[in-house]
Structure formats: structure tokens, C-alpha cells
Amino acid sequence: MTKLSDRRAELRRDPLLTEKIIYAVGPQHPSLPAPYMLEVQADGELIEHVRPDIGYMHRGVEQLCTKRTWAQCSGLLSRTEWLAGSNGDYLLSAAVEEIAGIEVPQRAQWLRTMVLELSRIASHLFWWGQLGLEAGAITPIFWAVREREGVIGLLEELSGHRWHHQWIVPGGVRTDVPQGFIDRVGQVLLNMEDRVHEFEEFLSDNAIWVNRSELIGVLEPEYALTNGASGPVLRGSGIVHDLRRDAPYLKYDELDVRIPVGEFGDVLDRYRIRMMEIQESTRLVRECFNHLADSGEAYRVEAPVDVPKGEAYVAVEGPRGELGLSAVSEGGPNPARLHLRGPSLYHLFLLDELCRGYLLADLFVILGSLDIMVGEVDR
């Protein structure tokens, strides 16, 4: 494995060193998915420091949650992770269920598992398109959004909403799946598997893309561990960790969760892991089909409006990593404290280490490989 220090030394031998300059990237910038600012100090073309400046989209979600009922908080949490909003719904429901000691019906657990995997596919597809834009390719975003539309349509059919579904509720799921839904999911997945292969042919083996991503933004495993990395960013550095396997929730302990890991910790590894995860999630959704048939008919039990006193930390392996929720209830309809642990906050602060010594042109490719969700960062 190429050490980061060697890479830096190699770049340092470049004779074209010019004066240092500080660039403000953002808060409004075409390459940023949402408003935040990167203060980039560069020595000529080489990045020396990247300092993220966040808070431009801070809405005070955690403070607002203390003034709302548990059910209303679901809507707020969903909006912190808008590309896979069901994760926020699930976290809140899981916290209420853990504090109140509610046993969720088997069918609801299988349906939740299926929806979370569909959300992961939708989120990763959009990431793929956005990464193409970061790297200067326009085509992927059109292809990705087209394919994602199929998944969004399925979730809309379930919940009535395209983005913030609030279909996962404390005690189960809001409604059972409509007639013929499973067949339609199968059709969408079948079509998408072909398309993902096409994506791979288009970009994954593209020489320009490989040259721009190989051994760029290398994250050492030790640094990743001690600085809070999780999800595909952590797995890209060769650490085999996935909450679906290591701390299984819902029905993941009954599924065969296979975890793709990287070797070099570079942009290309993180890219390949996400592409493989799309295929893995497709397979997991199909596995859920087999279990849904004999999972009973009950899909929801009544959950109390007033949640008893208690505390819970629940976590989900979201598309970007460990998305956690610390919940404290003092009894009554409102939470006393909700704190969302978003993986993107930790990943954003990895940028300084990831970008140091690389070229300015690499900044956005590295940023794209981290898949930052600003809703989680600013909350």
C-alpha cells in the first residue's frame, strides 16, 4: 500500500512551486451539494490545508425536536438525510420502541429492512451521478436520476411521498404493501441490475476516471478509525465493519450481508465499494421477498403517544455510514433530548488529511468520494 507520506514527498519534488494562496470554496459553489464553505490553503497547485466551515444550513433540528411530539420529530429527522429519508424515520421509531419496550411485528421488520435497502440504492445512485459531475462528466447524473426515479416511484407508491416518506412509524409501518408491489419491485430491480452493469462499463473502467481516482485521497486505516470514519469511507480503508453485520438490527441477522472492503483507501476504493453496495442491496431486497410471504399479516402495533422515561442510542448503517440517534425521554409526548450522529460531519473533517499534498483539481473528486450530506452535518 502506498503511504501517504511517500505520495506527498513525490509531489513535493515538483519544481513548479508557487506562492501560497487561500481559496474560499463556497458557501455557494457549483460543486458543493449544499451550502458549506471550504477554506483551502494551497501552495501553487498543491493543497496544504482544508478547513471546513459549516453551519450555513443549521436549522436547529435538535432544539426543535424538544418542542415537538415524537411523531413530528420523524419529519424533522427525515429532512436531515433527504436522499435516504427512511433512515431518520427508522431511527426515531427504533428509539421509541426501545424506550417503551415495544415488540415490532415480523412483517413490519422485513418491510422496514426492504425499504432501508431501497433507500440505500436510491442514495448511492444519486451519489454516482453527482460524483460524475465532480469529475467533469455530465452524463452520469442523467442516467443516475433516471434509474433512481424507479426506486423513488416505489417508495412513493408505499407512502405517498417521494422524499420524506414517514412510512416507518413507531410500532411498525404505516400501511401494508399494496397488491402487486413486490412484483413491481422485482421489475425495477431487474432493470436496474442491467443498468448498473452499464454504469460500470461506462465509468468504472474508464481510463480517465481511474487516473483521476487511483491513489488519490488516501485514508490510512488508523487515521480513519481514530477520527470517526464509518460506512464506505471506513471500509474503503480496509476495515471490515458494517453495523448490519456487527450490530444487526431489524432482520439483518437473518440475511447474508456481504461487506465489500477496499485495499488502498483511495477514491477509487470508496467508489467501487459503493458500486458493489448497490448490487448487494439489490440482492438483499430480493432475499427479503422470500421471507415476506411467511411473515404473518400484522404490520403494526399501537405505540403510545406518551413515551415513558428512558434513554436509548440506536444506530443504522446508512448509505454514508453510522447514523445514530441518542434519545432521552422524561415521560410525555415530547423528547427531552434528541441528538443525531451523522457520519458526514466526521467525514467532512477528514478532508484536511485526505487532501493535503494533492492537487487542487483532486479536491472535488475526494469530496465526491466522501458523499457528504449537509443535512446531517448542520442539522
- Binding stretches for another protein (CB under 8 A): 54-55, 58, 60, 62-63, 66, 225-228, 230, 239, 241, 243, 246-247, 311, 313, 315, 322, 324, 326, 328, 336-337, 339, 341, 345-346, 349, 378-379
Specify the residue, 230 or 282, whose C-beta has the smaller distance to another protein. 230
The distance of closest approach from Cβ of residue 76 to another protein in the complex, given in angstroms and rounded to an integer, is: 15
The distance of closest approach from Cβ of residue 233 to another protein in the complex, given in angstroms and rounded to an integer, is: 13
The residue type found at 328 is V
Cα–Cα nearest to 105, from 172, 158, 168, 167: 172
Measured distance between the N- and C-terminal CA atoms of the chain, rounded to whole angstroms:
37
The distance of closest approach from Cβ of residue 278 to another protein in the complex, given in angstroms and rounded to an integer, is: 23
- In this structure, the number of other CB atoms found within 10 A of the CB of residue 18 comes to 10
The distance of closest approach from Cβ of residue 114 to another protein in the complex, given in angstroms and rounded to an integer, is: 25
**263 Cβ contact list (under 8 Å, min separation 6):** 1, 238, 269
Specify the residue, 221 or 279, whose C-beta has the smaller distance to another protein. 221
What is the dihedral angle through the alpha carbons of 140, 141, 145, 147, rounded to the nearest 10 degrees? 0
Please give the C-alpha separations between residue 224 and each of 213, 238, 322, in angstroms, as whole numbers.
19, 10, 13
Cα–Cα nearest to 357, from 92, 2, 1: 2
**239 Cβ contact list (under 8 Å, min separation 6):** 221, 224, 225, 261
For Cα atoms 23, 29, 33, give the angle at the middle one, nearest 5 degrees. 125
Specify the residue, 159 or 334, whose C-beta has the smaller distance to another protein. 334
Specify the residue, 104 or 155, whose C-beta has the smaller distance to another protein. 104
- In this structure, the number of other CB atoms found within 10 A of the CB of residue 66 comes to 13
The distance of closest approach from Cβ of residue 336 to another protein in the complex, given in angstroms and rounded to an integer, is: 7
Specify the residue, 161 or 339, whose C-beta has the smaller distance to another protein. 339
The distance of closest approach from Cβ of residue 229 to another protein in the complex, given in angstroms and rounded to an integer, is: 9
Specify the residue, 141 or 328, whose C-beta has the smaller distance to another protein. 328
